[in-house]
Chain A
Amino acid sequence: MPALSVSQVILHLNNLFGYDPILSDVCVIGEVSRATRSASGHAYFTLKDEDGVLDSALFRGGIGVEHLELGAEVFVFGRVSVYGPSGRLQLIANLVEPAGDGILQARFEEMKNKLESEGLFDLERKRPIPSFPSVMGIVTSKDAAAWQDIQQTVARRFPRVELVLAHTPVQGNTAATLIAEAINSLNQVGGIDTIIVARGGGSPEDLWPFNEEVVARAIFASATPVISGVGHESDWSIADLVSDLRASTPTAAAELAVPDLEELKGKLNYYTSQMHLYCSARIDVGRNELKYSVTKLDRALPDLVTHKIRLDDLITRANSNVLHKNELTKEYLRGLAEKMTALAPHTTIARGYSVLQKSLDGKIISRVGDIGSGENITITVSDGVIDAKTVGENMGLGVPEEHQLNLL
């Protein structure tokens, strides 16, 4: 094998690169990490990504030298070759274009897919935001308009809340880490009901920290529910996707975080009047129920009046019956008494008749045969009794019928 000179090797390489369909006409995307301009008008710069660097040159007359700013994401169109004097691989550019938006979009999509697959955006994970917070943690810059907007909104809507500001830069290289730290710190303070992570509108680069993984992880790990209010209406950040509630702006975030005091007072008044209303309606119902019950009770009572009238009638009738009977009896008795008086023995005796009785047994002697000779008798006359003795034989006499009757 013949030995080759260094130049021959470099030449060979450049030939190979020149034939290579990719390397001979390439578009490289990367971040400008170093850029210098020579007096002759050439621009030398380094392109980098996470794992590598590529020396590059844009010679005088090339287009897009103004995009070669430190940190800028650019598309570089050109070819790859080896520069002999240094022996280094070089990207010879003829056109440089800013890549910013496209790159960021690609990174955003990549981050979104990654975190989504891990479940950081799951709807089931979203926690309810406390309706009436007492203490809220605010993650933003103390110099930002967002902080002013939040304070004003809270003061206007619900001024009985304490705001704890966790100040952090919200743009630049260190912002993402510091935002994440602020969220963690607020969680360590304790007693915070809601966290708002906020930043006003800006360029996609400005808002980029809110798309960083470290911020997403901090929001995900937060024990306190997080509301995000980053950028404007149309800006969706990774932070928005992870947070429990997304608001379009910092002001909107504050509005979602606290209730409206006036509205609440109105609600309380409404509740109070509703309670009055319902309660008096209930009392009316009770009153009607009572009325109904009384009526029902009334109807259920026996008809005392009718019974009483009937009873009175019965008593009257009974009374009059009894009285009538009494009168009749009295009348009858009176008649009897008169009769008896007429028939009484002493009345007869008083008229001159007398009554004979056997002394032995008091038997009335009304016939001859009732008494023998020599027997003791008593003779009752009008003013006393005469003791006597019979003599002689008894003889029957004809006694008139009427006298016999009178002796009975």
Chain B
Amino acid sequence: MSTMSENELGALSFEEIMDELEKSVSDLENGKLPLSKASEVYEKGMKLAEEASKRLSDTEIKITDIKKAFEEKIEISSQSENDLDI
């Protein structure tokens, strides 16, 4: 478990981020890590916490109805078909 790149962080779901963060905290809490490892875990944990609060700052509730959701889905799938043609 080394430090994470932006991409790796971005690929995680919020739930995964929270899980990883909780694990980092309990690893540190345990206090048995070698110092170098502890600082690595700390750095990673802080990155996770930062990413999590970044995601939480996005506070826009979006309301749509199922017809629209379906239309969007169809739009997206036809777009991706076009992408394939290119």
Contacts and interface: CB of A to CB of B under 8 A. Distances in A.
Given A165-B63, A286-B35, A268 B29 contact: no
A261 to B, nearest CB: 6
Contact of A159 (B25, B49, B61, B70): B61
A142 B68 CA distance: 14
Given A274-B29, A275-B28, A285-B31, A131 B69 contact: no
Contacts of B46: 272, 275
A279 B65 contact: no
Interface residues of B, number: 35
A159 B55 CA distance: 12
Nearest to A166: B66
A282 B61 contact: no
Between A154, A185, A271, A275, the greatest number of chain B beta carbons within 10 A of the residue's beta carbon is seen for A275
Interface string B52-66: 110110111111111
Contacts of B25: 271, 274-275, 278
Interface stretch (B3-11, B13-21, B78-86): B13-21
A61 interface: no
Between A185, A188, A272, the greatest number of chain B beta carbons within 10 A of the residue's beta carbon is seen for A272
B39 A189 contact: no
Contacts of B53: 265, 268
A271 B22 contact: yes
A179 to B, nearest CB: 13
A119 B29 CA distance: 43
A357 to B, nearest CB: 98
A165 B22 contact: no
Interface in B22-38: 22, 24-25, 28-29, 31, 33, 35, 38
B38 A282 contact: yes
A154 B61 contact: yes
B32 to A, nearest CB: 9
Chain A interface size, as a band, is: 35 or more
Given A131-B18, A268-B53, A282-B35, A164 B42 contact: no
B24 to A, nearest CB: 7
B63 A163 contact: yes
B39 A279 contact: yes
Nearest to B16: A132
A282 B29 CA distance: 9
B54 to A, nearest CB: 10
A278 B29 contact: yes
Nearest to A162: B62
A166 B60 CA distance: 20
A159 B60 contact: yes
B22 to A, nearest CB: 7
A272 B62 contact: no
Contacts of B56: 160, 261, 264-265, 268
B65 A160 contact: no
B61 A278 contact: no
Interface in A131-182: 131-132, 134, 137, 142, 151, 154-155, 159-167, 182
A132 B15 contact: yes
A281 B31 contact: yes
A155 B61 contact: yes
A250 to B, nearest CB: 15
Nearest to B13: A132
Interface string A279-320: 101110110000000000000000000000000000000000
A271 B49 contact: yes
Nearest to B31: A282
A186 interface: yes
A130 B15 CA distance: 8
A130 B14 CA distance: 10
A109 to B, nearest CB: 34
Between B31, B33, B66, the greatest number of chain A beta carbons within 10 A of the residue's beta carbon is seen for B66
Given A165-B64, A278-B28, 6 more contacts: A131-B15, A161-B61, A164-B66, A190-B73, A268-B53, A282-B31
Interface of A: 130-132, 134, 137, 142, 151, 154-155, 159-167, 182, 185-186, 188-190, 261, 264-265, 268, 271-272, 274-275, 278-279, 281-283, 285-286
Report, nearest first, the 5 A-B pairs whose CB atoms are least far apart.
A278-B28, A132-B14, A162-B62, A166-B66, A159-B61
Interface of B: 13-15, 18, 21-22, 24-25, 28-29, 31, 33, 35, 38-39, 42, 45-46, 49, 52-53, 55-56, 58-66, 69-70, 73
